Structure 1
Amino acid sequence: MEKMINDIAHRIIAGGSITEAEAIQLTQVQGTEVYDLFRAATRVKEHFVGNEVHLCSIINAKSGRCAENCAFCAQSAHHKTDAPVYPLVQEEEMLASARMAETNGSACFGIITSGTTVNGPELEQILTALRRIRKETTILPSCSLGIIDEETARKLKEAGMDTYHHNLETAASFFPQICTTHDYQDDVNTVRAVKKAGVKVCCGGIFGLGESAAQRVEMALTLKDLDVDSVPMNFLNPIEGTRLEGAANITAQECLKTIAIYRLILPGKRITVCGGREKNLRDLQSWIFFAGANGTMIGNYLTTLGRNVDTDLTMFSDLGLKTVMCAH
């Protein structure tokens, strides 16, 4: 297996690619072979994207009462959880959060809203906030506003949005087990519309939903076909009141193996570890960078707390990693 892993890494660095069958085979590595996989992912990462770490932060700008029935989500109106419920926050609050993210060293700041989409006055308010963030900070703003079309993407871009975030969440073959209120193709179409508008796309998913290892590979290959710019990787933190409240946590080793395989499938993309990092990786959080990740979210998530920012910044320093600074 060590020879196979090394051969795959050499092939990728030379401009080739890993096959679906090979990627699925790598999901089964155990023992010391896991470290061979991590070494290969690190070599590929350093060849294609270097050794810098990209940091991002978000604001939950509109929370709760979402009409979608995503099995994992605390904000779904189909679930009874303790998640906060409030309308779209004012632009001053978005700007203040962007400034805090900038102070903490994030290069990207995401405005995230619950619900299927935004339009009308809400969209206009977000457009105004984007213009102010662009004018009054150096941070690059992104948005995650649900399913949108090319015209909306162009409006957001003109207002200053750098990247649009829209997750596929899981593989197409598993999606009906997670969400039935919209089709997988709706998400794919959103990614394509945003790309057509000339906007960078941040698109990934969440692991530990009950999907198979092969389905994790399936989603990675879909992301490769869509040619997304960055891939956020979340790991389920089961929330009481959701359909997945009793789901077993994915192991730390499975998290790291999945990151490594995603690096081999998506060698030149930004791979950012986000939600569930603290819950699932615990003492192995720093290992994400040895498994192929080159980004992470700092601060809090949508409905769960993140790790103390200073603790994360110390971790990057201890690892000798340079963080990417904000720049318009």
Structure 2
Amino acid sequence: MSITTPDAGPTATLSDPALADAVASVLDTGVGLAEPDILAVLRLPDDELPAALEAAHRVRVRWCGPEVEVEGIVSVKTGGCPEDCHFCSQSGLFTSPVRAVWLDIPALVEAARQTAATGATEFCIVAAVRGPDRRLMDQMREGVKAIRAAVDIQIAASLGMLSQDQVNELVEMGVHRYNHNLETARSFFPNVVTTHSWEERFDTLRMVRESGMEVCCGGILGLGETVTQRAEFAAQLASLQPDEVPLNFLNPRPGTPLGDADPVNAKDALRAIAAFRLALPKTILRYAGGREITLGDLGTRDGLLGGINAMIVGNYLTTLGRAPGTDLQLLDELKMPVKALSATL
């Protein structure tokens, strides 16, 4: 069979009958594509991309609903990280201009207020660290308490690798969701990080999953990985069964080892959005960093019609994003409702 978009003309079909049947099965069963079929989607020719995006959108609506989850993020501790993630300007090992800064509790509360004012239901507190020390855990406790007293919003955290005691403490604080990205395929990870392993990251995610917190785990496309490794990464994320996958596209940062890398091609980025949705039919798939330079306004719209059902609004940790009002206006134009806070509980 073939899947045809109603408005894309007669060329918008999946010409491989086996792939078309596999995609149709995802729509019917909610079971994601296997790795070979994910790779086939990533290798689709341009004239079949509209069909892949349409199929991914249908899967997203069927298994996740029409709502879009909106989130804001803020860095409680910026820069000075001891790790050597080659894409990150917050590493203290590179010559990037980001320097260590700590945010105080009143500033955290104000950031949460501003995030809630956009209609966002999720506020994520991020720290550039290998893992949290006692000072950071104490600040998290104070910050979560102060935010809960002032703002009606879910609180997530991204504090690096955790011990079991730290996982337990975050649960006790009431942290709703924990983000810890695997970043890239296991086979490619040593090419972009050498100060810790993919397995160490996975161990943290395992403990988070077992604790009852929601798991947020994604990565960055465009680090130099092959298309085959991109498919491997999508399959590895699917095996983890995360509640949310933030999809970033490399925004090359001056002073980092990847500072001169080329951004991901827009059509390759859209192919990846469709492939990751078809691999993860029931997962929140979130627009994260880099979409502005990779996709622009038109591509952002195409991704929302191709499987994306969540977005970070406003600025990212060290790079600028689109104005929240611009994204919210786009959602309104597409008649995609913002998920209400009660729907995230």
* TM-score of the two chains, using structure 1 as the length reference: 0.97
How big is the shift at 1:158?
1.4
The 1:234–1:302 alpha-carbon spacing in structure 2 relative to 1, beyond 3 Å, is same
How big is the shift at 1:202?
0.5
Aligned to 1:109: 123
How big is the shift at 1:246?
0.8
Paired positions, count: 327
Contact 1:134 1:160 in 2 (8 A): no
Q: Does 1:59 align with 2:71?
A: no
Amino acid at match of 1:153: V
Give a deviation string over 1:271-309, Cα, whole Å, max 9, x none.
001000101101321111111010110010010011111
Contact 2:81 2:91 in 1 (8 A): yes
State the alpha-carbon separation in 2 of the partners of residues 59 and 110 from structure 1: 6
Aligned to 1:152: 166
Instruction: Give secondary structure in 1 for the equivalent of 2:269.
Output: helix
Q: Does 1:72 align with 2:90?
A: no
How big is the shift at 1:5?
4.3
Instruction: Give secondary structure in 2 for the equivalent of 1:260.
Output: helix
Structure-to-structure mapping, 1:194-273, within 5 angstroms: 194-273=208-287
Instruction: Give secondary structure in 2 for the equivalent of 1:60.
Output: strand
Amino acid at match of 2:330: M
Contact 1:150 1:197 in 2 (8 A): no
Aligned to 2:309: 294
How big is the shift at 1:114?
0.6
Q: Which shows bigger deviation, 277-286 or 174-183? A: 277-286
Contact 1:128 1:159 in 2 (8 A): no
State the alpha-carbon separation in 2 of the partners of residues 201 and 134 from structure 1: 21
State the alpha-carbon separation in 2 of the partners of residues 259 and 240 from structure 1: 26
Instruction: Give secondary structure in 2 for the equivalent of 1:323.
Output: coil
Aligned to 1:41: 56
State the alpha-carbon separation in 2 of the partners of residues 296 and 202 from structure 1: 13
How big is the shift at 1:122?
1.8
Aligned to 1:188: 202
Instruction: Give secondary structure in 1 for the equivalent of 2:258.
Output: coil
Task: Identify the match of residue 187 of structure 2 among 173, 176, 181.
Answer: 173
**Unmatched 5+ stretches in structure 1:** none
Task: Give the 4+ runs in structure 1 shifted more than 6 A.
Answer: none
Amino acid at match of 1:144: S
Aligned to 2:332: 317
Q: Which shows bigger deviation, 270-279 or 221-230? A: 221-230
Give a deviation string over 1:169-214, Cα, whole Å, max 9, x none.
0001000000000011000000001111111110000000000111
Contact 1:54 1:296 in 2 (8 A): yes
The 1:17–1:271 alpha-carbon spacing in structure 2 relative to 1, beyond 3 Å, is closer
Aligned to 2:5: none
How big is the shift at 1:25?
1.5
Amino acid at match of 2:162: I
Contact 1:5 1:36 in 2 (8 A): no
Q: Which shows bigger deviation, 105-114 or 148-157? A: 148-157
Q: Does 1:128 align with 2:170?
A: no
Task: Identify the match of residue 137 of structure 1 among 144, 151, 168.
Answer: 151
How big is the shift at 1:6?
3.3
Contact 1:167 1:203 in 2 (8 A): yes
Give a deviation string over 1:207-247, Cα, whole Å, max 9, x none.
00000111111111111111111000000000111100110
Instruction: Give secondary structure in 2 for the equivalent of 1:52.
Output: coil
State the alpha-carbon separation in 2 of the partners of residues 113 and 36 from structure 1: 39
Q: Which shows bigger deviation, 233-242 or 126-135? A: 126-135
Contact 1:5 1:40 in 2 (8 A): no
**Unmatched 5+ stretches in structure 2:** 1-13
State the alpha-carbon separation in 1 of the partners of residues 149 and 24 from structure 2: 44
Contact 2:80 2:99 in 1 (8 A): no
How big is the shift at 1:259?
0.8
